[in-house]
Structure 1
Amino acid sequence: MGRLSNTWHLTKVSWSLLKKDRELLWLPVISGLVIVALLLVFLVASLTTGGIEVDEGSEGFGGIAIVLGVVFTFAATGTGVFFEGALVAGAYDRMTGGDPTVRSAIGKATARLPSLLGWAIVSATVGMLLRALEERLPWLARILLWFVEAAWAIATYLVVPAIMIDDYRPIASIKHSASLVRKTWGENIISSAGFGLLGILLMLPAILIGVVIAAIVPGFIGIVIGGAIGIAGVVAVLVVVSALSIYFKTALYVYATDGSVLGGFDGDQMRNTFRAKRQR
């Protein structure tokens, strides 16, 4: 209960900050739209070049589709990292007394573009290598690989804030993030998981409403309306929760780096989240 209470408090503080910058919610929206557009381009390009075979008896994905898939992975990861960096910039600006806008946040992310893209390349490459290994390993080895994936995700949790706030280069940002996680023993991930749980809880009403409408309204129209409402609700929750988690991550990074508590977060709550053993 203490952990849940702590996460709820930090969520409320993150929301109080995000309410001042509602326009920044467009950043994850734009990111998602760009990724969807990239996916459509990938599918069209694969179909038109014969990379994806749709004839009966075909084997599915060809070499061209694999190449295009790699390109899409890099492009999609780069898009996600860039807009996460923009949101970190906006969050940090708000926490340090600024008044961020979508333009100012994107401008600051653009200034860090080489480092953000460098990290995106590393992240996408590691992800693809792990996926390739997973497909070739027996189930017992896959379990061990899942631990490796989790360790990588934890170690790199604070990479984007390190790039955006302290101008770390990609490799240095990974080392810095890993050192902060070691110092705090990674307990920040518990709070991050709390945001995931919050997202699931908030999605349930939207899904339930969609199901009820689909059941009440007869025919295909009911399915369409109910489905649209459910999907819209889920997307809205994902956008808000992802923004809240990045605001929180930004504050956590600053606290882990120099002990500063920004944006109205409570020092005791931050210490409970990290349980860092600092050198005073």
Structure 2
Amino acid sequence: MGRIRNTIALAKASWQVLLSDKELIWLPVFSGIAAIIMGATFILPVALTSSNGPLGWIAAAAFYFTTSFVVIFFNTALVSAAYERLSGGDPTIKSAIGAAVSHLPAIAGWAAISATVSAILKAIEERAGFVGSIVSSVAGLAWTLVTFLVIPVYVVEGGGVVAAIKRSGTLFKATWGENMVANVGFGIIGFVAMLPFILMAILAIVSQVGALAVVGIVVAVVGVVAVTVVMSTLSGIFQTALYLYASTGTVPAAFVSADLPGAFRPKHR
């Protein structure tokens, strides 16, 4: 129960930061819109090209890279804004986007690596059956946890993406315990928040009442999207706070009320 309470406290602290800069919530929205546009751009070429041919592989690689680039670009903007706020500044959408633009080389490098890893994991899952799915899931989770702080590292410390990956791994080893619980906890909170909307959609479909079903489904979709956007924003804020504590040992002022030292307890050797 203590871990659950701690996760909720961290989510509340992240929420308070978001309330101070409500415009930050637009960054995940922009990310989603841009990713959808990029995805739609590649649907036709991929559909018209043999998936086993060289053009199919090129189209798939381009899709993975551009989608990763868009998502990482806006995540970088969000982390930059969160860092500015947690450091006492007053970020704006313009300053966040500007900060992301200044890190384009790192973003491109991280997008290329992320896309490559995603493609490899997907290939393992598709070609090795049930065992491949397990291996892919475990490896994917490990990769996500170890590289969780890559974006805050290159935003705050600068440098290349390879150095950022190594630094993220080092910080993860130093504070690996409850940060995993908190990370997973954010996903659980998001799922619980989505549950009423999911149930609403199911009831709307089962009811088979024309207009009522349509309204119910629309409201449910909007609700799920809203929860996804909010949780994505909170995750970026939390990610930045985790980095600041892990790298400096100092708790950001906005997270003093949450038990940050307890949440990111150093690994016992």
Q: Report the equivalent of 1:38.
A: 38
| 1:51 maps onto 2:49 in alignment | yes
Residues in 1 aligned to 2:126 and 2:203: alpha-carbon distance in whole angstroms: 39
Residues in 2 aligned to 1:243 and 1:175: alpha-carbon distance in whole angstroms: 25
Counterpart selection for 2:188 from 163, 183, 197: 197
| 1:265 maps onto 2:255 in alignment | yes
The structural deviation recorded for 1:142 is: 4.6
Residues 71-110 of structure 1: CA deviation (Å, up to 9, x unaligned):
1110000111110010001111111111111111010011
| 1:107 maps onto 2:98 in alignment | yes
Flag the 1:151–1:210 CA change in 2: closer, same or farther, 3 A: closer
Structure with higher Rg: it is 1
Residues in 1 aligned to 2:20 and 2:258: alpha-carbon distance in whole angstroms: 24
Q: Report the equivalent of 1:242.
A: 232
TM-score, normalising length from structure 1? Answer: 0.89
Equivalent residue letter for 2:234 = L
Equivalent residue letter for 2:9 = H
Worse-superposed segment, 147-156 or 93-102: 147-156
Residues in 2 aligned to 1:175 and 1:116: alpha-carbon distance in whole angstroms: 16
Q: Report the equivalent of 1:65.
A: 56
Aligned-CA RMSD value: 2.1
Q: What percent identity do the matched residue pairs reach? A: 40
Worse-superposed segment, 104-113 or 179-188: 179-188
Contact residue 174 and residue 267 of structure 2 kept, 8 A? yes
- In the alignment, structure 2 segments of 5+ residues that lack a partner are none
Flag the 1:268–1:230 CA change in 2: closer, same or farther, 3 A: closer
Residues in 2 aligned to 1:186 and 1:73: alpha-carbon distance in whole angstroms: 32
Q: Report the equivalent of 1:77.
A: 68
The structural deviation recorded for 1:213 is: 4.8
Counterpart selection for 1:167 from 158, 168, 173: 158
TM-score, normalising length from structure 2? Answer: 0.92
Q: Report the equivalent of 1:17.
A: 17
The structural deviation recorded for 1:228 is: 1.2
Contact residue 80 and residue 99 of structure 2 kept, 8 A? yes
Number of residues of Structure 1 aligned to a counterpart in Structure 2: 268
The structural deviation recorded for 1:129 is: 1.4
Residues in 1 aligned to 2:90 and 2:32: alpha-carbon distance in whole angstroms: 24
Q: Report the equivalent of 1:225.
A: 215
Residues in 1 aligned to 2:145 and 2:3: alpha-carbon distance in whole angstroms: 19
Residues in 1 aligned to 2:157 and 2:93: alpha-carbon distance in whole angstroms: 21
Equivalent residue letter for 2:251 = V
Equivalent residue letter for 2:237 = Y
- In the alignment, structure 1 segments of 5+ residues that lack a partner are 53-60
Residues 4-25 of structure 1: CA deviation (Å, up to 9, x unaligned):
1001111111101101111111
Counterpart mapping for 1:108-187 below 5 A: 108-137=99-128, 139-140=130-131, 142-187=133-178
Residues in 1 aligned to 2:25 and 2:129: alpha-carbon distance in whole angstroms: 42
